[in-house]
Structures are given as structure tokens and as C-alpha cells.
Amino acid sequence: MAINLTKKFRFVNLAKLNLAVFTLIFSVPVYGEQLTPPIPKAPGAEFRQLNQHLFEAAKKGYVKELKQYLEAGASVKARDRFGNTALLIAARANKIKSVKTLLEFGSKINHQNLVGSSALLRAATADRRKIAKFLVENGANVILANKKGVTPIIASAFNGDLKLLDFLIVRGGSIETIDNTGKSAIVYAAARGDTEIVTRLLDKGIDPNTQYGNDLTVLMWAAGFSNDVPENEGEQTVRVLLEHGAKVNERDNRGWTALTIAAERGHLGVVKLLLAERADQHLRAKDGKTAYAVARQSGQNAIAKLLKP
């Protein structure tokens, strides 16, 4: 009997199509189904993908998954494109359980990323006091600076974390370190009007008349910038520095004094306080200008009126 080849091929193609549709329907997950990345089993696993899963688990604090990836072959030494290990990622993300787990699996506590930041510095910079203290208690280097010269103590002063600052000092942190921009912990504290930290550092022996970058003293930083912090008028920080022996007429590399800087910045209360402490308003900068001239030039009319000869 003759066979109709055209019908036969149609039947075969239809069968193949049905099989393909069946496979497609039952291999695609239902919409909304929770999918968890499969944990590759080393050897033969895609190493980079495995470590990427490790980074994500560390960041989110998924300790169970973190352990699974590590046991499957992920490395605590693996780094992302910024040089961060999973430990640095966890410290920044404030995931202390991830930090503990990674240390248990041998993560290097003092590893530094491409900009020189360690897990401790990242924790201190991100205001993660609990993690920072845990890292120090487990051997983190408290004086390790990044490539900009920033140390954990500088970071804690910048953030206004007095408790962490005190803890780091007790653990051997240096309060005199100067970063690459010429500023130290007390400079950052003074610039933000943080009287508590300024007082603590002065009581710990910091010389209020040390000249930092561009020959600026702590008093100059407080006079010029602490008023910019809304919750602080700046005068209290200036007063504390004066009580600790800050020289009111010290000059920077332009010949400016704290009075000149306060006048230029429009800090009337600080100007009055400095004048009461015998700041010399007649001193001239290297360009010949007095504090009065600088105030007029800067449009600080109320201060110019006060300083008018």
C-alpha cells in the first residue's frame, strides 16, 4: 500500500512540536516561585559565580547560605573588583553574624582593599561600632590606615562616635595621626563642632596649637567651620579650645587668624567670643588685609560693622 509521505512528515513534525511545548511548560518555573541560586558542587563549579553568591550572602547576612557556599568551595580570600573580601563586605553592611562566620572559616581580618581600607576601617567609617569592637577584640589592627591616611580613630572622630573613639584609644589607636589632607581626629571633630570629642582629645594630651595642613590650627577649624553644623553654634567648641590654651592670634600660611576666618565665614558669635579673648583685629594677612577688610569683601556686613576701625 502506498504511503502518503506528506502526511507522515506532518505527523512527525506535529509530534516534535507537542514534545517541545510540553518541555517548555514543565521546565519553566511558575510565576512568583522563590528561586534560590543552585549551590554548585566543587570540583567543577564555576568559581567566580560561587564567590559572587558568597559576597551576596555575606552582605545580606544569610549565614546558612554563607556556610553552604564556603563548604561548596567558595573562598574567603576571593575579592570583588574593588578588592573587598566577603569579610569587608559584611563589615560595611553591618552583618555581624556574617563577620563571625567568615572569621571562623579563616578570613584574614586585616586584609585591605584597593584603597587600603580594612574591615575595621570600613566598619568605623560606616558607623558600625558593634562590628568595629568585635573586630578589634579578635585581632584587627587599630592603627592600620588606608591610602588616604585615614585610620579608624580619624573615622570615629569624623562620625562623632565618642564611645568607639574611647575604645580605640584604650586599644592602642593613635590620636595624633594626620591623614593625607593634613587633618587629624581633633581637626575633624572641631570642624563639625563636636565639643565632646574635642574635649576628650585635648584631655588625652593633644596640643591645641599644633599647625596642620596649610598651617591651620584646631581653633581656626572650629572658628571657620563648626558653625556650619546646624545643631551647634560653634562657640562652645571655640571656648573649650581657648580654655585649653589655644593661641587666639596664631596665623596660617596666608597670615590669617581664627578671627579672620570666622569673619570671612560669617560667624558673628565666634567673632565676638574671639574679640573678648583679645583677638587682634588689626593684624594684617600676607596680602595686607585685616579681618575687617575680609568681612567686607565677603559681604559679612554685620561683622564688618563690628570690626570697623
> What would the pLDDT profile of 80-106 be if each residue is shown by its tens digit?
999 999 999 999 999 999 999 999 999
| Mean of pLDDT values over 125-143 | 98
Alpha-carbon distance 108 to 118, whole Å? 10
C-alpha cell at 147: 591610602
CATH fold for the domain made of 44-108: 1.25.40
- Residue for cell digits 559565580? 49
Give the distance, in angstroms, between the CA of residue 201 and the centroid of all CA atoms in the same chain: 21
Residues 6+ apart with CB under 8 A from 36: 65
Tell me the average pLDDT of the chain: 88
Q: Which fold has domain 190-309?
A: 1.25.40
Q: What is the mean pLDDT of residues 267-273?
A: 94
pLDDT at 36: 45
Interval 170-190: pLDDT, tens? 999 999 999 999 999 999 999
Cell numbers given for 291: 579681618
Q: Is the pLDDT of residue 220 over 50?
A: yes
Write down the domain spans for the chain: 44-108, 112-180, 190-309
Mean local confidence (pLDDT), 132-140: 98
Cell 528561586 -> residue: 35
What band does 214 get if pLDDT is binned at 50, 70 and 90? very high
| pLDDT confidence tier of residue 244, bands split at 50, 70 and 90 | very high
Indicate the pLDDT class of residue 230, thresholds 50, 70 and 90.
Answer: low
d(CA 212, CA 191): 13
Residue 226 has what pLDDT?
A: 74
Query: What pLDDT score was predicted for residue 8?
Result: 44
User: Which CATH superfamily is 112-180 part of?
Assistant: Ankyrin repeat-containing domain (1.25.40.20)
Confidence of residue 35 (pLDDT cuts 50, 70, 90): very low
Q: Give the pTM.
A: 0.82
Res 60: pLDDT: 98
Q: Which of 109, 46, 45, 49 is nearest to 76 (CA)?
A: 109
Asked whether the domain spanning 112-180 has the same topology as the one spanning 44-108, the reply is yes
Calpha distance 2→181 (Å, rounded): 94
